[in-house]
Amino acid sequence: MSDPRRIAVATFGRSDFSILRPLVRLLLARPEFETGFWVGGAHFEQISGRTVTDIEASGLPIWARIDGGEHDRSGLGTADMMASQLAGFAAAASGIERPGVRLSGPTPDLVIVLGDRFEAVAAGLAMVPVGVPVAHISGGSVTEGAIDDVFRHCLTKVAALHFCDLPRFARRIHLMGEPPERIFTTGALGLDAFRTSEVHGVAQFAAQFGLAGLRPGYVLGTLHPESRRPDATLPMAEALVEAVLSTGLQAVFTYPNADPGSDQIIEVLEAANAAHDDLYCVRGFGADWFPSAMAHAGVMVGNSSGGIIEAASFGLPVVDIGDRQKGREHGPNVLHCRRDRAAILAAIHEATAPDFADRAQAANIYGDGRGAERVIAALLDVDFDALLEPKRFAEPDPDFVGDVQELPCG
């Protein structure tokens, strides 16, 4: 048997760690691979909960820590963090420690990068000059209201392998010149953890996060900045909080991501939390508790991808606000609305009406929760040496469908 292929899996925050954890566990179970996390981005930020401790507590191997420190939430601060992360991940790939870069694992044959965060594109671009191939997860989707769209499509051109959520996304990746034999439709990996995770009772969930008096049927909220419209973030956050308070329902909000403008959202949420007993605010639930948060909620509001992708697995109605997720495929459990208070309130009333419940119970279009198994099956067939060769630009093949990969076990 040949030596195991070394695969580094990059993670930048609480959301992608929860998605990637099942994949890493499956990779570790295969003798064909050695695997460890490269940890960077918001995992080291206090405002994000310093979630590197979650990875350490999981017992999963960490091969590199790329600590960019805290960054301000301005556009320039984000660019500074991207520069720091690019240099740090290049150093990790080269096996070189430097200030902010600690290594405890080998240099990899392949780096897996998920999604569309600014840290993700920095890590992906860093692999180009050092000659390490990239596998990209969740390319091909569209989110017109976020700069993530640019980062996602950039990673598509960086990557040598593509693992995407839907056949339509596979076809988009191919239309960007990617060879069909490098594109695998797996379903959304975010559903894998939900398929196997324990759902805790509402009392246990409330006790875990200090949510005294929380009852089932609350509003679950996550709002991120609209990075294409920086001026819209603050009034949108204020309108959302006002609309939720007008419903009389309890509400649990999580902190936003680290995009420019997220500090404005946090200020609005913390002020509302201090002034209203039935509005709770937590930094994040982590991989083990997010399924419980969704399971006991009555409606989800905001503009998080969790509402678009994962919520349907719980039959959870979703009110998606503004343009951040505009253009992204979703199930019938999702309602879109404008950013103003009146539109948000009307959408919440519609989503919590009894006749909406049946509509929200439709099957999740993003898959069956076995995406990580499909990634493993594809990697077992990959010629890793060929990934180092120059990637050809593939002319459009009208017969390419991008069907979901079949699993060897059926």
Averaged pLDDT score across all residues of the chain: 94
Percent of the chain with pLDDT over 90: 86
Q: What is the pLDDT, as a whole number, of residue 244?
A: 98
Q: Are 255 and 154 members of one domain?
A: no
- Nearest CA-CA partner of 18 in 373, 306, 320: 306
pLDDT digits (tens, 9 = 90+) for 189-246: 999 988 878 899 999 999 999 999 999 999 999 999 988 888 999 999 999 999 999 9
Assigned token pair, 294: 């969704």
Other Cβ atoms closer than 10 A to 30: 15
Cβ–Cβ < 8 Å for 256, 263? no
* Domains in the chain, number: 2
pLDDT digits (tens, 9 = 90+) for 62-98: 999 999 988 787 889 999 999 999 999 999 999 999 9
Q: Are 302 and 348 members of one domain?
A: yes
Q: For residue 340, what are the domain limits? A: 200-361
Q: CA–CA distance from 368 to each of 135, 173, 371 (Å)?
A: 21, 22, 7
Other Cβ atoms closer than 10 A to 342: 13
**Exposure class string for 109-143: b at 16+ Cβ within 10 A, else e:** bbbbbbbbbbbbbbbbbbbeeeebbbbbbbbbbbb
Write out the H or E segment, with its range, that includes residue 14.
Answer: helix 14-28
pLDDT digits (tens, 9 = 90+) for 115-159: 999 999 999 999 999 999 999 999 999 998 888 999 999 999 999
Q: Are 276 and 298 members of one domain?
A: yes
Q: Are 283 and 351 members of one domain?
A: yes
Q: What is the pLDDT, as a whole number, of residue 66?
A: 97
Q: What is the pLDDT, as a whole number, of residue 383?
A: 95
**CATH number of the domain encompassing residue 337:** 3.40.50.2000
Q: Are 39 and 167 members of one domain?
A: yes
Looking up tokens 């989800």, which residue turns up?
300
Is residue 326 one of the residues assigned to a domain? Answer: yes
Report CA dihedral (98, 101, 105, 110) to the nearest 10 degrees: -100
Q: Are 317 and 263 members of one domain?
A: yes
Q: CA–CA distance from 274 to each of 21, 208, 242, 268, 281 (Å)?
A: 34, 20, 14, 10, 9
Cβ–Cβ < 8 Å for 136, 156? yes
**Is the confidence at residue 410, as pLDDT, over 60?**
no
Cβ-in-10-Å burial (0-12, 13-18, 19+) of 336 comes to middle
Is residue 410 one of the residues assigned to a domain? Answer: no
Q: Which residues contact 306 (CB under 8 A, 6 or more apart)?
A: 15, 190, 222, 290, 294, 300
Is residue 402 one of the residues assigned to a domain? Answer: no
220 bridge partner residues: 252, 300
φ, ψ of residue 119 to 5 degrees: the values are -70, -35
**Is the confidence at residue 1, as pLDDT, over 70?**
no
Q: What is the pLDDT, as a whole number, of residue 49?
A: 81
Q: Tell me the average pLDDT across 44-51.
A: 86
Q: Is 144 helix (H, G, I), strand (E, B) or coil?
A: coil
Q: Are 210 and 226 members of one domain?
A: yes
Q: Are 380 and 318 members of one domain?
A: no
Percent of the chain with pLDDT over 70: 99
* DSSP-assigned states of every residue in 254-322: E---SSTTHHHHHHHHHHHHHH-TTEEEES--HHHHHHHHHHTEEEEEES-HHHHTTGGGGT--EEEET
Phi-psi region of 218 (alpha: psi -120 to 50; beta: other; left: phi over 0): beta
Q: What is the pLDDT, as a whole number, of residue 409?
A: 57
Is residue 401 one of the residues assigned to a domain? Answer: no
Q: How many residues does the chain have?
A: 410
Q: What is the pLDDT, as a whole number, of residue 271?
A: 97
Q: How confident is the model at residue 30 (pLDDT cuts 50, 70, 90)?
A: very high
Q: Are 109 and 226 members of one domain?
A: no
